[in-house]
Chains A and B, each alone.
Chain A
Amino acid sequence: MDDFIQIEGISKKYDNKYVIKDVSMSIPSGRIIGLLGDNGIGKTTLLKLLGNLQKPDKGEIRIDNTPVNQMKAKDIVYLLEPANIYDWMKIKEAIAFCNDFQADFDKQRALRICLEFGLDPNAKITRLSKGNKEKACLMLAFSRNAKLYLMDEPLGGIDPTLKKNIKKFILENIPTDATIIMATHLLKDLEVLFDQIIIITGAGKIIYVDTDEIRETRNQSIEEYYAEVIENAADN
């Protein structure tokens, strides 16, 4: 559907500064979307607003025609950071917790992904390396069958072998009609995966475009296009 996510006039302020101002957009279903922008510019804020972890000061977000704050998080997956997990939790306990409270959680898939990633379910998550901690978080997110996946810089500490396989991993483990919105700096590795990109340029302005359309009309890679957009924004 064309308006799977409806963002209407949302604004969000922190410390009296607008991070997102009067933004409206319509995001169709079944898209893999890259969320780009400088650090601290509002990518995390947008993801948290979509995931109902933060509330907009003004405006409304609807997903599948339901206001986000009434959604009970059933159809939304928000990728956790390692710090979000209780430090006494072992991987199998985190799996049990998610399995108990998330109806679409697939425990078999979770264990299969653990095997694939080389994660020991009996290991305490805090004792893992940075890369393995993030793999554990990815495992929890992709053991679900949801409509919307929100990911904030998911590949920071991941080792190069996984980075190479991450596209395949994502494609294998999400429903075909799911929408993914992923904040990332790894355009070189991931731009081929994105159907569309959202660029937050600063002062609350947002650009939302089709990737292949950019490539077709401008003969630029998304990496090049993004660099140009940021440079223009800096000049203005």
Chain B
Amino acid sequence: MDFRTNAPIYEQIATSIKEQIMSGSLHYGDKLPSIREYSLIYEVSALTVQRAVQQLEREGIIQSKKGIGSFVLGDCKDNLESRMIGQQVDEFVEKMKKMGLTDKFIISKVKESLSNG
């Protein structure tokens, strides 16, 4: 995986794992690869992977059981979706508003894009 070098690597790995959950590559209850396995997959240090895993734990997306491994938590897919999409939408709306566009105009543009989609 190619990383952006001006943003924390561990965050990018956490995001990558979240995307896998959202896309369905990882399901509820799935056991994540071990830290060492992830380190080889992403070609980063074990410490970086550990930080990513800890972040995912803090966000309630996975749960680590000592000695056994890390598992994807149940309702997190929907949770994730709304959280990640919510963030993107917030950013988009803020940008549009900064350009001085009205709410009505923004909504109509979104509808247009969806119907063309």
Contacts and interface: CB of A to CB of B under 8 A. Distances in A.
A191 B44 CA distance: 10
Nearest to B42: A192
A223 B10 contact: no
Contacts of B11: 212, 216
Nearest to A30: B47
A176 B9 CA distance: 18
A195 B8 contact: no
Nearest to B50: A30
Nearest to B4: A221
Interface of B is mostly: helix
Given A30-B46, A32-B45, A195-B47, A224 B10 contact: no
A205 interface: no
Contacts of B36: 176
A124 interface: no
Contact of A212 (B40, B46, B48): B48
Name the residue among B8, B35, B40 with the largest chain A CB count within 10 angstroms.
B8
A219 B5 contact: no
A181 to B, nearest CB: 13
Chain A: interface residue count, which band? Answer: 20 to 34
A193 B6 contact: no
Interface in A170-188: 171-172, 176
Nearest to A192: B3
Given A212-B48, A221-B5, A223-B5, A193 B43 contact: yes
A112 interface: no
Given A171-B43, A176-B46, A221-B6, 10 more contacts: A32-B47, A168-B43, A171-B40, A171-B45, A212-B9, A212-B51, A215-B8, A215-B9, A216-B7, A224-B6
Interface of B: 3, 5-11, 35-36, 39-40, 43-48, 51
Interface of A: 30-32, 167-168, 171-172, 176, 191-195, 211-213, 215-216, 219-224
